[in-house]
Amino acid sequence: MSSLQAKPYLRQVSIRADAEFDQDQFPYYLPAVQAINNLQFHPDVTFFVGENGSGKSTVLEAIAIALGFSAEGGTKSVRFQTADTISPLHSVLLLAQSFKRPADGYFLRAESFFNVATYMDKMGYLDSYGGKSLHARSHGEAFMALLLTKLRGKGLYLLDEPEAALSPNRQLAALSAIHQLVQNDSQLIIATHSPILLAYPNAKIFQFSGNGIEEVKYEDTEHYALTKDFLNFYERRLQQLLDADPE
Ligand SMILES: Nc1ncnc2c1ncn2[C@@H]1O[C@H](COP(=O)(O)OP(=O)(O)O)[C@@H](O)[C@H]1O
Ligand SMILES: [Mg+2]
């Protein structure tokens, strides 16, 4: 065998050098979008973290579309469109991919997971979700069914805030499911606010902010530091928050 590794399936993303765009237009004015240059993904898991509005979903969606997923999410065979707010970012992205194509793929958008579930019901795809309509489950249950039965491994999976529906206990189960997928030759790119998911060790964390994109360690994320501080000192922190004079 050569030293060439199949993973990461998606190695790197940049903005094409010859791309023409207006820096004042959405999404090009976002500091994180301007910082997309040789962004190198971890072979196992790459996390996008950052404040609401920092551009995580915009970048994840553009990568997904450039890879051939529908903007609404789902597998690559899902072909329907209800979103009319897709940014043009995908058209200027340059993706560096592995010589080996992933055998499976999924793009999860928290906002449109239920639209995709409706489509899956209509198309008779229930078997691959454990044989029960996703609508007959809670959001969290539906998502766990996706993670445990639909994603088959050897795949490239893009997940936008997968924790949205999950109890802390299910987030731990999701962490274990992610590890199973990684061990089964998968690569994941996950936008998340979850301090539990972010703890996954075989990972790289990209923090999106007004300064662009920088790689950070788990313990240096605000998610870790703030959650830990709050839980350790919640009585004092609550007092500070709730007693503060509104300005
Ligand atoms: N279609 C759009 N047109 C203009 N601005 C948008 C559009 N979609 C998102 N935005 C803005 O771009 C910024 C980044 O959004 P988003 O990528 O969803 O952030 P995040 O996922 O990090 O919370 C936000 O300020 C958002 O309001
Ligand atoms: Mg988002």
Cα 7-10-12 angle, rounded to 5 deg: 115
In this prediction, residue 210 has a pLDDT band, given cuts at 50, 70 and 90, of very high
What is the model's pLDDT at position 247? 62
Query: Identity (one letter) of the amino acid at 58?
Result: T
Q: What is the mean pLDDT of residues 87-115?
A: 88
Is it the case that residue 91 has pLDDT exceeding 70?
A: yes
Is it the case that residue 79 has pLDDT exceeding 70?
A: no
Contact status, residue 200 vs residue 179, Cβ threshold 8 Å: yes
pLDDT digits (tens, 9 = 90+) for 104-125: 999 998 766 656 666 666 666 6
In this prediction, residue 126 has a pLDDT band, given cuts at 50, 70 and 90, of low
What is the model's pLDDT at position 123? 64
Query: Identity (one letter) of the amino acid at 241?
Result: L
What is the model's pLDDT at position 144? 87
Q: CA-to-CA distance for 215 and 195, rounded, in angstroms?
A: 16
Closest C-alpha to ligand 1, atom 17: 55
Summary mean pLDDT of the chain: 89
Ligand 1 neighbours by CB, cut-off 6 Å: 26-27, 30, 50, 52-58, 85, 87
pLDDT digits (tens, 9 = 90+) for 141-193: 888 888 888 899 999 999 999 998 899 999 999 999 999 999 999 999 999 99
The DSSP code sequence of 55-100 is SHHHHHHHHHHHHT--TT-BSTT----------GGGGGEEEEE-SS
What is the model's pLDDT at position 133? 67
Which is more confidently placed, 218 or 111? 218
What is the model's pLDDT at position 187? 98
What is the model's pLDDT at position 115? 64
Is it the case that residue 25 has pLDDT exceeding 90?
A: yes
Delimit the CATH 3.40.50.300 region(s) of the chain: 11-216
Q: What is the mean pLDDT of residues 43-54?
A: 97
What atom in ligand 1 is closest to the CA of residue 60? Answer: 17
* Distance of CA 111 from the midpoint of ligand 2 (Å): 9
What is the model's pLDDT at position 205? 98
Q: What is the mean pLDDT of residues 8-21?
A: 95
DSSP 9: S
Q: Which ligand is nearest to the CA of 110?
A: 2
pLDDT digits (tens, 9 = 90+) for 54-76: 999 999 999 999 999 988 788 78
What is the model's pLDDT at position 124? 62
What is the model's pLDDT at position 125? 60
Select from 24, 26, 28, 207 the residue to mutate for testing ligand 1; criterion: most ligand atoms less than 8 Å from CB: 26
Query: Class for domain 11-216, per CATH?
Result: alpha beta
Burial of 74 (0-12, 13-18, 19+ CB in 10 A): buried
Q: CA-to-CA distance for 25 and 21, rounded, in angstroms?
A: 8
What is the model's pLDDT at position 83? 54
Closest C-alpha to ligand 1, atom 26: 53
